[in-house]
């Protein structure tokens, strides 16, 4: 059997600028290869390339942002071969299963997807058979029906390393944990992963060694939602990399949170050879951070920037604007925070809020009647402010007029372009 897992691009984003390794599809593909070595399994990022693989079964992994493309691809292949949908969107909105799709995988996909492969190989694709597979949604009598939820994979170290067959872009990333122990009101990660779990430091070291030996990797970006969540784990990873000599030929980047940051954490990252960190500052207003349930303060954000400046670690900070309840004065504070930290910020990311399905901010918008359960998904696009198109943008903030919001979009766009200019890096 030839199996293709299509991890779809974000049509509104430059694929070179916004490339992120598709670890969801890569872990599922690797797990399926181990369980079914007789099958050929591929990851495909170009929808047009699916046909070239001549698949007998098609998996489609998508976010809400590219779900219209997932639905279109499913319609092209449904009825010809089994089509299985997975990823953030179908997990959050399972009753949005595309017409003709055999099933959708809810949450992490390794076990459910391979169970579906086994069912398809045995010809057991009747809904009465699929009902026995936990953790999926399938159609029965024309309507999507959920099966019982599946137990989470507790031992992530039991998983094989993710498949890396996307050429030169396969090696510069690692994904060492699932989920996040925090619950920001705008974040969609919690719904997919359900709980925070990690690979052991020993697993992380082994994967890093593999990346160095097989791919000659020299720089690794940890794509965890929060890499530096547990200081003791981080210290153990550092110790293993130092004692093995791997640290000497590598540098790293990963995500932190301001409320778990302290001098000791900064020292560990520096000793691990971190060259850059990423963190969600989100706002220059404590009031907005409280509305977001971020759990951090502007003072804590400032401490991260000050410490990283001293340690020589570059900082990329992200900000979310347009959060419900945010006022013009709050955006002024965000502008002031960025301005005064020009010499501490390597880059910034500024994005207007998008209320993704199943997030608290989405549920509140549903209750208030601002959005429907099945809105036009084409409008759910997370856009950096330099390419932000206000057309069809779903503005949820009653704290200011849309015209006032666009005024601050223009001001922040100018600052974003200035701070992120290639000229600044010279």
DSSP-derived 3-state class of residue 61: strand
Our count of domains for the chain comes to 2
Tokens for 241?
């990399």
Q: Which of 221, 315, 218, 202 is nearest to 266 (CA)?
A: 315
Which residues of 257-305 form beta strands (DSSP E)? Answer: 274-282
- Say yes or no: 224 and 326 in one domain: yes
- Say yes or no: 104 and 248 in one domain: no
- Say yes or no: 176 and 30 in one domain: no
CATH number of the domain residue 291 falls in:
3.20.20.70
What is the dihedral sign for C-alpha 334, 336, 339, 345? Answer: negative
In a domain, 219, yes or no: yes
Give the structural domain span for 90: 2-146
Measured distance CA(43)–CA(338) in Å, rounded: 40
Q: Which of 218, 120, 219, 230 is nearest to 181 (CA)?
A: 230
Measured distance CA(375)–CA(59) in Å, rounded: 24
- Say yes or no: 271 and 369 in one domain: yes
Confidence tier at 141 by pLDDT (50, 70, 90): confident
Per-residue confidence (pLDDT) for residue 11, from 0 to 100 = 60
Per-residue confidence (pLDDT) for residue 377, from 0 to 100 = 92
- Say yes or no: 195 and 129 in one domain: no
> Using an 8 Å Cβ cutoff, are 269 and 307 in contact?
no
Torsions phi, psi for 116 (to 5 deg)? -70, -35
In a domain, 327, yes or no: yes
Measured distance CA(409)–CA(207) in Å, rounded: 41
- Say yes or no: 401 and 252 in one domain: yes
- Say yes or no: 190 and 125 in one domain: no
DSSP-derived 3-state class of residue 80: coil
Confidence tier at 168 by pLDDT (50, 70, 90): low
Per-residue confidence (pLDDT) for residue 18, from 0 to 100 = 52
- Say yes or no: 287 and 411 in one domain: yes
- Say yes or no: 182 and 249 in one domain: yes
Q: Are strands 173-174 and 143-146 parallel, antiparallel or unpaired?
A: unpaired
- Encode pLDDT of 205-244 as tens digits: 999 999 999 999 999 999 999 999 999 999 999 999 999 9
Q: What percent of the chain has pLDDT over 70?
A: 96
In a domain, 396, yes or no: yes
Per-residue confidence (pLDDT) for residue 22, from 0 to 100 = 87
- Encode pLDDT of 172-185 as tens digits: 899 999 999 999 99
Asked if the model's pLDDT at residue 13 lies above 80, the reply is no
Q: What percent of the chain has pLDDT over 90?
A: 85
- Say yes or no: 218 and 365 in one domain: yes
Q: Which of 91, 173, 174 is nearest to 136 (CA)?
A: 91
> Using an 8 Å Cβ cutoff, are 174 and 208 in contact?
yes
Asked if the model's pLDDT at residue 20 lies above 80, the reply is no
State which of 146, 181, 209 marks the end of a domain: 146
In a domain, 298, yes or no: yes
CATH number of the domain residue 112 falls in:
3.40.50.280
Give pTM, 2 decimals. Answer: 0.92
Per-residue confidence (pLDDT) for residue 160, from 0 to 100 = 97
Measured distance CA(407)–CA(409) in Å, rounded: 5
In a domain, 164, yes or no: no
Asked if the model's pLDDT at residue 306 lies above 90, the reply is yes
- Encode pLDDT of 112-132 as tens digits: 999 999 999 999 999 889 999
Per-residue confidence (pLDDT) for residue 426, from 0 to 100 = 54
What does the pLDDT average to over 389-395? 91
> Using an 8 Å Cβ cutoff, are 69 and 59 in contact?
no
In a domain, 261, yes or no: yes
Give the neighbor-by-neighbor strand order of the sheet with 347-352: 173-174, 219-222, 251-256, 274-282, 314-321, 347-352
- Say yes or no: 134 and 193 in one domain: no
In a domain, 162, yes or no: no
Asked if the model's pLDDT at residue 165 lies above 90, the reply is no
> Using an 8 Å Cβ cutoff, are 113 and 39 in contact?
no
Per-residue confidence (pLDDT) for residue 373, from 0 to 100 = 86
Per-residue confidence (pLDDT) for residue 307, from 0 to 100 = 97
In a domain, 75, yes or no: yes
What does the pLDDT average to over 72-85? 96
- Say yes or no: 218 and 180 in one domain: yes
Mean model confidence pLDDT for the chain? 93
């Amino acid at each position: 059997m030839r199996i293709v897992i299509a991890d779809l691009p974000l049509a509104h984003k430059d694929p070179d600028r916004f490339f992120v390794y598709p670890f969801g599809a890569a872990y599922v593909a690797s797990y399926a290869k181990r369980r079914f070595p007789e099958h050929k399994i591929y990851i495909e990022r170009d929808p047009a390339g699916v046909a070239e693989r001549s698949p007998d079964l098609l998996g489609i992994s998508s976010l809400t942002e590219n779900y219209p493309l997932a639905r279109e691809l499913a319609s092209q292949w449904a009825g010809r071969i089994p089509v299985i949908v997975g990823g953030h969107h179908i997990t959050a909105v399972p009753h949005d299963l595309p017409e003709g799709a055999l099933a959708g995988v809810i949450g992490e996909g390794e076990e459910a997807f391979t169970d579906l492969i086994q069912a398809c190989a045995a010809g057991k694709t009747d809904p009465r058979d699929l009902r026995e597979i936990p953790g999926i949604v399938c159609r029965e009598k024309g309507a999507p029906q959920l099966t019982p939820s599946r137990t989470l994979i507790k031992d992530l170290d039991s998983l094989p390393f993710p498949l890396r067959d996307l050429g030169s872009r396969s090696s510069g990333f690692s994904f060492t944990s699932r989920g996040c122990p925090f619950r920001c009101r705008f974040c969609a990660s919690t719904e997919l992963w359900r709980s925070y779990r990690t690979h052991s430091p020993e697993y992380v070291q082994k994967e890093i060694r593999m990346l160095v030996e097989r791919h000659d990797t020299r720089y690794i970006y940890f794509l965890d939602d929060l890499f530096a969540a547990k200081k003791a784990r981080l210290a153990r990873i550092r110790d293993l990399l130092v004692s093995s000599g791997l640290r000497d030929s590598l540098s790293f980047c990963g995500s932190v949170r301001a409320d778990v940051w302290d001098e000791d954490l900064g020292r560990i990252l520096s000793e691990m050879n971190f060259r850059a960190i990423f963190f969600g500052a989100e706002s220059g207003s404590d009031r907005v951070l409280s509305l977001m349930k971020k759990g951090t303060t502007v003072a804590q954000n400032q401490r991260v920037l000050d410490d990283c400046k001293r340690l020589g670690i570059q900082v990329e900070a992200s900000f979310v604007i347009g959060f419900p309840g945010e006022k013009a004065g709050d955006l002024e504070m965000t502008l002031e925070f960025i301005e005064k930290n020009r010499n501490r910020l390597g880059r910034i990311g500024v994005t207007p809020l998008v209320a993704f399905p199943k997030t608290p901010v989405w549920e509140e918008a549903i209750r208030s009647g601002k959005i429907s359960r099945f809105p036009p998904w084409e409008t759910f696009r997370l856009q950096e402010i330099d390419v932000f198109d206000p057309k069809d943008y779903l503005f949820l903030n009653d704290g200011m007029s849309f015209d006032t919001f666009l005024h601050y979009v223009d001001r922040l766009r100018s600052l974003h372009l200035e701070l992120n200019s290639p000229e600044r890096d010279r």
